[in-house]
Amino acid sequence: MNKLSVDISEVFVKYRLAREKPKTFQEYFIHRVKGKSIAYEDFWALKGINLQVRKGESVGIIGHNGAGKSTLLKVIAGVMKPTQGNITACGLIAPLIELGAGFDPELTGKENINLNASILGFSRKEIDSKFNAIVEFAELHEFIHCPLKSYSSGMVSRLGFSIATEVNPDILIVDEVLAVGDEMFKRKSKDRILGFKEKGVSILLVSHSMEDVQTLCDNILLLDHGTAKMYGDSETVIDEYLKMNA
Amino acid sequence: MISFLTEIPEILRYKELLRNLVVRDIKVRYKRSVLGIFWVMLHPLLMMIVLNMVFSEIFNVTTKNYSVYVLSGFILWNFFSQSTSSALSSFTSNRSLINKVHLPKSIFPLSVVLSGLIHFVFSLVPLFVIFIISGTPLSAKIFVLPLLIGMVILFSFGVSLIIATLTVFFHDTRYIYDVLLIALMYATPIFYPESIVPQKYALVLHLNPLFYFMDIFRMALYLDGPHLFRSLLYGGLFSVGAFVIGWFFYNLYKERIIYYL
């Protein structure tokens, strides 16, 4: 179980923030005609992050708003290329997809399952074989042929969680979405995440709930203004984070 | 050079997603209307009736079979204009997905163009009905129709890639494109016959890719003309050119899209 599933070394991500960002052609041309080049300010969202996640390990990422948590997840998910540094991630990466992203409110639950699973790159046959298990876990039996707009928000997030976990990912990315659903489902999804670790699935969890992070994660990365302030076991890092806030 | 091609096999890997996106587009669009998908067929017919009432008196002398002429022009124009103008926002409207999951992003404009194709195929039904009613014999050159469809897909996809990418960086691409579409519509013989275009504007007509597509479409259906080969050649060049330019343009900027969404 010592194989790495995510290996990030010296990752930097730079955003170019234009001081006056031209949003229209007109502004852009006026700028250029006046002979001004656009003034950009570099903003480094990640500054030299190193992180190794083994198979079956779950790592929490915590930090204040704007610390770089979401950017780091984007780099891991392969959505964003780092400005500098290397990232390798092995296997299928499944992010939990929330309402508004891969879901269409006009489509039924079943149609949304098809859409969502194909977003993760699955073929029709694979989707069909997992369909029953997805519905089962999401507890949506009688509603699965209703349009999603008639669902409660808890039902939608149950469906999202069920799809992302039922496809047997190698890396599961959870971005602050465990807070939804009732107590029963919360417990059920936590159990499932804990069960994943035994199957060798790596989990990356971003959360502001210290309780979730503590119960689910082996190690925690504390980000502060784009740098890794601390990396270690849950208790020590959470203590440090709480001290930062005090 | 090689990095410009990596997304092509990726699109093939995500063909199930492509299919689902096309299905979603069609389902969602007609879900709330009583007549549903029949609108695809009814809409061009009603448009034809309107255009017929307005223009048939003027153009009947010069154009034989004006209803067929205007209907064929209208559905082909719709194929191009509707696909591209909805593909324009295909990156921005899928921003939350593009922000979360690694996907070949060009799949979004491609799915819009393909759902435009399905609309087009459906609207061929009323066209053939009008053929039967008006007793117009179908041309023997109908076999070039698939070729024409391929050209319009390539051309629309290329244009879509450019405008969808531009829209991410400049939000007013939408307004500029709307105006350009209107200009292009008037520069295309959709409801007027080519023969009324004065000689001094002939160049404008011949620089317009849609002119060749219209020409091929109508010759494939019913019109006689000596210049089918010329139109196929220019139409083909325009569509391959638009696709190549669009593909390179998109690939040049695709890694930056995420920062602006």
3-state secondary structure of A103: coil
**Minimal Cα–Cα distance from A120 to chain B, Å?**
8
| Token reading at A41 | 């300010």
C-beta of residue A208 within 8 angstroms of C-beta of residue A62: yes
Please state the domain count of chain A: 1
Bridge partner residues of A41 (DSSP): A17
| Percentage of the residues of chain B whose pLDDT score is greater than 90 | 68
Rounded Cα distance, B212 and B225, in Å: 12
pLDDT for res A1: 47
Distance from CA of B249 to the nearest CA of A (A): 17
| Amino acid in the structure at residue B13 | R
Complex prediction ipTM: 0.85
Question: Each residue of B178-210: pLDDT tens digit?
Answer: 999 999 999 999 989 888 889 988 899 999 999
B106 — pLDDT class (breaks 50, 70, 90) = very high
Residue A91 structure tokens: 């296997």
* Cα atoms in the Cβ-side hemisphere of radius 13 Å centred on A43: 14
| Per-residue pLDDT, A207 | 86
Whole-angstrom CA distances from B251 to A7, B140, B161 are 27, 41, 9
Residue type for A73, please? L
3-state SS record for chain B: CHHHCCHHHHHHHCHHHHHHHHHHHHHHHHCCCCCCCHHHHHHHHHHHHHHHHHHHHHHCCCCCCHHHHHHHHHHHHHHHHHHHHHHCCCCCCCHHHHCCCCCCCCHHHHHHHHHHHHHHHHHHHHHHHHHHHHCCCCCHHHHHHHHHHHHHHHHHHHHHHHHHHHHHHCCCHHHHHHHHHHHHHHCCCCCCCHHHCCHHHHHHHHCCHHHHHHHHHHHHHCCCCCCHHHHHHHHHHHHHHHHHHHHHHHHHHHHHHHHHC
Q: Which of A79-88, A174-183, B3-12, B92-101 is predicted with the least confidence, judged by mean pLDDT?
A: A174-183
User: Is A104 in contact with B24 (CB distance < 8 Å)?
Assistant: yes
Higher pLDDT, B61 or B153: B153
pTM of the model: 0.90
CA distance B225 to B237: 20
- Confidence at residue B117, expressed as pLDDT on a 0 to 100 scale: 96
pLDDT score, position A37: 66
SS3 A8: strand
Q: How far apart are CA A115 and CA B178, in angstroms?
A: 31
Please write the tens of the pLDDT for every residue from B77-89: 999 999 999 999 9
CATH of the domain at A227: 3.40.50.300
pLDDT at B238: 98
Q: Is A118 on the interface with B (CB under 8 A)?
A: yes
- A93 vs B contacts (CB less than 8 Å): 102
Name A8's bridge partners. A51, A87
HSE value, Cβ hemisphere, 13 Å, CA-based, for B235: 24
Which pLDDT tens digit goes with each residue over A16-36?
A: 876 656 667 777 777 777 766
pLDDT in tens, B15-51: 999 999 999 988 888 877 777 778 888 988 998 889 8
For B120, the token pair is: 């087009």
Query: Which range of residues forms the domain containing residue A92?
Result: 4-244
B145-169 vs B228-260: helix axis angle to the nearest 10?
A: 30
For residue A55, give how far its alpha carbon lies from the nearest alpha carbon of chain B (Å).
21
List the alpha helices (DSSP H) in A17-150.
25-33, 69-77, 109-119, 124-138
**Mean pLDDT in each 10-residue stretch from start to end of chain A (246 residues)?**
84 80 70 69 90 92 90 92 92 75 87 91 89 92 91 86 86 76 81 86 89 89 93 91 86
Nearest to B20 among A78, A98, A114 (CB): A114
Residues of chain B whose beta carbon is less than 8 angstroms from a beta carbon of chain A are 13-14, 16-17, 19-21, 23-24, 27-28, 31-32, 96-103, 170-173, 176, 255, 258-259
Residues B189 and A113: their CA atoms lie apart, in Å, by 45
Asked if A79 lies within 8 A of B13 by C-beta distance, the reply is no
Report the sign of the C-alpha dihedral through residues B174, B179, B181, B184, in that order.
Answer: negative
Q: Does pLDDT of B1 surpass 60? A: no
